């Protein structure tokens, strides 16, 4: 796999990096993303930044949990933001739900 793979571009991987970090994508998609991150220096650099940011947030929160309504509002806000900037496909199959997120070109997202 390389960054030239039309089925998994760097843009696709970076759009899904949080799903990867949170183990929220199916196993086959997770493996594709992991291989891409292992082989792509640019994505790996960005992924490292994302991973460090997540670790920093975890440390600064001190193990405290946000109130459920705050988490729901944040989740909704993030989902709405992603949907405005991406094409999202949800498929239901025998192995469960599969979500595909593809970023739109900058001119289409505006």
Q: Kindly tell me the burial class for residue 80, based on how many C-beta atoms sit within 10 Å of its own C-beta (0-12, 13-18, 19 or more).
A: exposed
Asked if residue 107 has pLDDT above 60, the reply is no
> 97-105 long-range CB contacts below 8 Å, 24 or more apart?
98/25, 98/26, 98/29, 99/19, 99/25, 100/29, 101/12, 101/15, 101/16, 101/19, 102/11, 102/12, 102/15, 103/11, 103/12, 103/14, 103/15
Q: What is the model's pLDDT at position 109? A: 46
- For residues 11 and 51, the answer to whether their CB atoms sit within 8 Å is no
Q: What is the model's pLDDT at position 42? A: 79
Q: In the predicted model, what is the mean pLDDT of residues 76-85?
A: 77
Q: What is the model's pLDDT at position 110? A: 46
**In angstroms, rounded to a whole number, what is the distance separating the alpha carbons of residues 78 and 97?**
19
* Model confidence pLDDT, tens digit, residues 23-80: 788 888 888 888 887 788 777 777 776 777 677 677 766 666 778 888 888 888 887 7
């Amino acid at each position: 796999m390389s960054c030239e793979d039309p089925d998994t571009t760097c843009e696709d991987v970076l759009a899904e990096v949080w799903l990867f970090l949170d183990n929220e994508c199916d196993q086959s998609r997770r493996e594709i993303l992991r291989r891409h991150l292992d082989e792509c220096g640019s994505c790996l650099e960005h992924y490292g930044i994302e991973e460090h940011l997540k670790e920093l947030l975890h440390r600064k929160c001190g193990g405290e949990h946000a109130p459920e309504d705050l988490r729901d509002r944040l989740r909704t806000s993030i989902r709405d933001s992603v949907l405005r900037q991406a094409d999202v496909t949800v498929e239901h199959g025998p192995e469960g739900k599969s979500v595909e997120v593809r970023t739109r070109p900058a001119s289409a997202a505006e």
